[in-house]
Structure 1
Amino acid sequence: MQFFELVLIIVTTVYVGFNRFVNKKLSKHYVTGLLVSIIALQLIFNGYRWQMIPAYLIWLIALITAFRQTRRKPKTIIRALKTIGMLVILALSIMLPSILPVFELPEATGPYTVGTRDLYLELDREEVITSDETDNRRFMIKAWYPSNESNGEEDPYIDQGGRNGFAQKYGLPTSMLNYLSKVETKVYRNIDIADETFPVLIFSHGYNSKANGYYALLTELVSHGYIVLAINHSYESTGSTFPDGTEVYFDYDYADQIEAGTWEKIEPAIETFKNGLSFEERHPLVQKALSTYFVKDMIERWAYDIVDVVNKLDEWNNAGFFKDRLDVTNVGVFGHSRGGGAAGESLLNDSRIKAGANLDGVQWGQIVDIMFQKPFLFLSSDWPADHEDLNSHAYTNKSSSFFYKGTLLQTGHSNFMDIPYMIPLKALSLAGAIDPDLAIEIASKVTTSFFDRHLKNKEVDLNSLNSEYELLDLNVFKGDSLNSVSN
């Protein structure tokens, strides 16, 4: 809750509750002036947002009370009803701004300011999600890049298509998310890129998630000298806005279509965990599920999107805004949730990608039968002990290079996103007990250190992060060894 919002609620509530005493000491003109001044300050410095409507109602009651200044004591029943009504309004005035706050994103700690601009790809590849057979695949990319400037237009938090799709997902009026415009991103649109060459990271978001809902994580990475190209997987993110203003949202009909009748492919694997079977007994069934469940095809589609971006890097580096700024010889890929699975899939398929990271996603697809030939990081949230750990089977073979397996303790699946800031109530956000700032700090530190080691060739000992963060459990494997090693 913002400062003047809190002041407005406290002052007006106290006055309504103790107006008989206050009115004996102060004139109605003084009280009225104070009330008008407070709401003026709140609107000027914090601005209007719908979550404050109950607080504005308390202010209106206070203003009416100041003008009336009745000294007659109301009947007990009337007084009780007024008290109950005020308590309900007060509860709403505190809950709504607190549950959906104008939140503050953490400050990036790197030496660079973060700039951003939108890129658009329209491909010759057929779009399989839409019903129009003439549609080709197209998607947006949000480019995040290091800069030495900070005097540009601040990037609004989430584009309109993303907001509208998020509102649609939860059955909310789109206007309910207008308050997000008040969030300061400290990211600047279309400012000049720093006069250096930077490794390129391609990022893939979670399924039916806000593609651009990762400001805290991505700005931290970019501030340390990376260009991040964040893909918006059209029709499988909450929403996207194309350059012509067209907005496309998550396609629920297609989602139902591809998921229908597929539970039988994964149910036997899930049952092996519930029934307490040994790893060896589970493995064939989990192996089959990972390679046949419908999510495998989705991961492969998203991996194609990633490869399409890699295909454009030379062109972008030869002309235009990113000319001579992309280190196309040091390309990494990472993602969250299903985007993490897509990152792993693309690392297997494209020799131009040197390293990959999966943030809390299941590695569906072919990996269960083979191993990575390049460095790979799997960083997991703190799932319950009885969780169906499919990745313990997917990553059995690990990598012929370095393989990093970490758990971020006391976290939930959403702690890699901005959701814990946007919705601080953990029961709604599915975040863990960890402080959101600390979760992002550790996740970004591990991810940045991993790419520093394998794209920038820095002497980084990722094992040492365990002593730096007590809520991190990170193991480093070399080759296909199951024994962790110092790197």
Structure 2
Amino acid sequence: MRKRTHVRSAVVAGLLVLVLAVSGAASAATSTPYLPEPTGPHPVGTTSLYLKDTSRADPWVPSVKARELMVSLWYPAKSRGKQRAPYMTAKESELLLRSGDITNVPLDVLSKTRTDAYPDAAPAGRHLPLVVLSPGFNWPRSSLTSLAEELASWGYLVAGIDHTYENAGMTFPGGRVVTCLACAQQDNPDFEKKVVEGRARDVSFVLDELTRRALVDRSRIAMVGMSMGGASVGETMLADPRVRAGADLDGTMFKDLPASGLSRPFLLFGEDAADPSWDSNWSRLTGWKRRLAVTGAVHASFTDYDVLTQQIGVDLGSKLTGTRSVDITRAYVRAFVDQHLRGIPRRLLDRPSSRFPEVKLTGR
């Protein structure tokens, strides 16, 4: 399955579980999947926040009169802790796999993934540049952990948002678990627009909450979204001028930018495949912009799942073996935020690289 198909095919369960369902690869599963270690000089700390926006009802369940969100923070830490943070709960792993009728792999297998962050470690520094992450539809915030840990190891504060009722399963404090109720509304003709607009409101609310904290530099904020999260980046930037730069990782732009355009820096980074929505919106990106294509990538290559599925013996069709997909995504996203939040020019964004021959510049 490719991202160029309609989002409804991804809504059913997500690329990961769809491929697992047809692969029959349980016998090749490893005991402990793992994420590549981050490359920066700082240890990584992490914590989770429960946030409640009482100004609006939930867009998917109007009877719920406040929008509840779970957010993970990753940040540079003063020192490593004694235990690594969990990747997800066993129940969340089970719900993600069962949503694709998966019974031929251990249902808790993803919960065993080894991360490289330490829960509630003391932060190193204040007034950090902030990168907000928005995951693909039906995928949890944890699907972007490898990218989050990398950025945090280089001194960024990273906030990964779970957009409630838009993924297979997420857990609130106290153990309350909610599932993808939005999936039942996918036949609504305005479905994608509703998702994009709702995510923009989620991000703005999270920014309201985070920018009250001394940990955040309010003048240096970027958003990086994957798939539906990427589709939401432009809408968020239009609605919230605090977001100085945005990157869309393999996300079809389901809501067009206005004719007046978007003048802040924007990166389109995805598979080596056509996307008419990227073509039609290109001229409306009127500031710094780049469009990059990754040969051999599949949709999941811009998440943790290309690496993790290879480790448990599942073939997604990716030509990026081992940790290559994570290496590429980390390098280019970090170059983008370094340049636009820290003012550090990165040649990686301007020309071919012998380190990453899979990546080609297709627009600037």
TM over 0.5, shorter chain: yes
Q: Give matches, 1:295-306, under 5 Å.
A: 295-306=192-203
For the 8 Å contact 2:133–2:144, the answer to whether it is kept is no
Q: SS where residue 406 of structure 1 aligns?
A: strand
Q: Which residue of 2 aligns with 1:187?
A: 117
- Greater length-normalized contact order (CA 8 Å, ≥ 6 residues apart): 2
Q: Whole-Å Cα distance in 2 between the matches of residues 453 and 247 of structure 1?
A: 39
Q: Whole-Å Cα distance in 1 between the matches of residues 112 and 193 of structure 2?
A: 39
Q: Which residue of 1 aligns with 2:183?
A: 255
For the 8 Å contact 2:33–2:311, the answer to whether it is kept is no
TM-score by length of 1: 0.65
**Deviation (angstroms), 1:455:** 0.4
Q: Which residue of 1 aligns with 2:318?
A: 432
How many positions carry a matched residue from both structures? 339
Q: Whole-Å Cα distance in 1 between the matches of residues 226 and 317 of structure 2?
A: 14
Q: Whole-Å Cα distance in 1 between the matches of residues 322 and 260 of structure 2?
A: 36
Q: Whole-Å Cα distance in 1 between the matches of residues 227 and 200 of structure 2?
A: 14
Question: Is the counterpart of residue 127 in structure 1 residue 58 in structure 2?
Answer: yes
Match of 1:162 among 82, 92, 96: 92
For the 8 Å contact 1:161–1:249, the answer to whether it is kept is no
Q: Whole-Å Cα distance in 2 between the matches of residues 111 and 98 of structure 1?
A: 34
* Counterpart residue identity of residue 248, structure 2: N
Q: Which residue of 1 aligns with 2:252?
A: 362
**Cα offsets for 1:275-299 (capped at 9, x unmatched):** xxxxxxxxxxxxxxxxxx5312211
For the 8 Å contact 1:374–1:402, the answer to whether it is kept is yes
Q: Which residue of 2 aligns with 1:379?
A: 269
Q: Whole-Å Cα distance in 1 between the matches of residues 220 and 317 of structure 2?
A: 33
For the 8 Å contact 2:169–2:180, the answer to whether it is kept is yes
Q: Which residue of 2 aligns with 1:337?
A: 227
TM-aligned CA distance change 1:296 to 1:105, over 3 Å: same
Question: Is the counterpart of residue 390 in structure 1 residue 263 in structure 2?
Answer: no
Q: SS where residue 176 of structure 1 aligns?
A: coil
* Counterpart residue identity of residue 191, structure 2: F
Moved over 4 A (4+): 172-175, 425-429
Instruction: Mark the structure with the bigger radius of gyration.
Output: 1
Q: Which residue of 2 aligns with 1:136?
A: 66
Q: Which residue of 2 aligns with 1:176?
A: 106
Q: Considering only aligned residues, what root-mean-square deviation do their CA atoms show, in Å?
A: 2.4
Q: Which residue of 2 aligns with 1:31?
A: none
* Counterpart residue identity of residue 259, structure 1: D
For the 8 Å contact 2:29–2:312, the answer to whether it is kept is no
For the 8 Å contact 2:42–2:77, the answer to whether it is kept is yes
Match of 2:135 among 193, 197, 205: 205
Q: Whole-Å Cα distance in 2 between the matches of residues 243 and 437 of structure 1?
A: 33
**Deviation (angstroms), 1:174:** 12
TM-aligned CA distance change 1:222 to 1:118, over 3 Å: same
Q: Whole-Å Cα distance in 2 between the matches of residues 173 and 468 of structure 1?
A: 39
Q: Whole-Å Cα distance in 2 between the matches of residues 173 and 475 of structure 1?
A: 41
For the 8 Å contact 2:90–2:111, the answer to whether it is kept is no
**Cα offsets for 1:65-92 (capped at 9, x unmatched):** xxxxxxxxxxxxxxxxxxxxxxxxxxx9
TM-score by length of 2: 0.86
For the 8 Å contact 1:120–1:138, the answer to whether it is kept is yes
**Deviation (angstroms), 1:388:** 5.1
Structure 1: tracts of 5 or more residues without a match: 1-91, 263-292, 318-323, 478-487
* Counterpart residue identity of residue 357, structure 1: A
**Deviation (angstroms), 1:133:** 2.1
Q: Give matches, 1:18-167, under 5 Å.
A: 96-99=26-29, 102-124=32-54, 125-130=56-61, 133-167=63-97
For the 8 Å contact 1:420–1:431, the answer to whether it is kept is no
For the 8 Å contact 2:148–2:158, the answer to whether it is kept is yes
